[in-house]
Amino acid sequence: MSKITQVNIQDFLKLSAKLPVLDARSEGEFAQGHLCGAINFPMLNNEERALVGTCYKQKGHEKAVMLGYELAGPKFHLMIANAYKLFPEKKILIHCFRGGLRSRILSYILHTAGFDITLLVGGYKVYRKYVLQMLETDLQLKVIGGFTGSGKTIILNELKNKQQQIIDIEALANHRGSAFGAIELPPQPTQEQFENDLANQIAKLDTSKIVWVEDESRMTGKVKTPDTFYLKMRSATVYFIDKPFDERAQHILNTYGKFDKQTLIESTLKLKKRLGDLRLREAITHLENNEMEEWIKIVLTYYDKTYLFGLEKRDGKKTIKMSEEEFLVNELQ
């Protein structure tokens, strides 16, 4: 006999590790932010939701409910058929925004079709409160620093391979953290989804152990590292990877030199205010003439000055300079 159960956010998230989560909100709400791994299963699409909202404001609750059923009702059989196809085990988790009408209706129709349903009390709104609380978690952060091209991301992944705990901000943000950081990467998440994904990573950590992160600016592309987490990064010990300029330049060329020239020009133009007209023109000319080494020297010199400015604002006693080899020997034993 199928059943409908209601649980709090902690129990819901535990169950989500082994059961599918259906988000009954519209596709627009889902795109703005959702539980990690959730599947959008909208009761009403964007346009229908807007109509119901307008009806509620103009004619009240009962009329809005009736309109909602009128719009969603003809699709009930399609929802059931889709659920049968996607979830043959017939055990699913469901939520909407507040744990209200949309999730209750979806639960009811799938329950009558033989599904065991677990509902999130309070819906996505409660999940967002959980996310904001998780972002306040006290973590033992250590930071991998170094000028652009030092291979910080490579080292971070090496730490992960050695079973160390890491949080990769750039991977979560779909951005490498510079004017060129979005090239050939998927679109960045919304700010809300970035926070959800970061909270999801934090929830998996053992907070009694060290967590490694890469030294990042407050902004990674268009998304902002939450204030509490960012301040923890800024106050943590930094292991500054000291690598020669020429080695770093070659590393950058190996990463970015393969990209389309016009794309590199467009990205370099983003640095106009910072480089100044003369240096910008020189950089663009080098790109146009395929003088990649000269181009990267101009760009890298700018980023070195920018990074050094931020590093000097840190507590000097918490900055430890070492070579990559020294770091790997000392920290990966």
φ and ψ at residue 117, rounded to 5 degrees: -115, 135
The one-character DSSP state at 258 is: T
Asked whether 182 and 228 are in contact (CB, 8 A), the reply is no
Closest CA to 281 of 297, 293, 298: 298
Q: Known catalytic residue: 96?
A: yes
Q: 264: Cβ–Cβ under 8 A, 6 or more apart, which residues?
A: 180, 183, 256, 287, 295
- Annotate 301-331 with b (16+ C-beta within 10 A) or e (fewer): ebbeeebeeebeebeeeeeeebebeebbeeb
Cβ–Cβ under 8 Å, residues 106 and 25: no
Catalytic residue among 52, 96, 131, 211: 96
Query: Which residues are known catalytic residues?
Result: 96
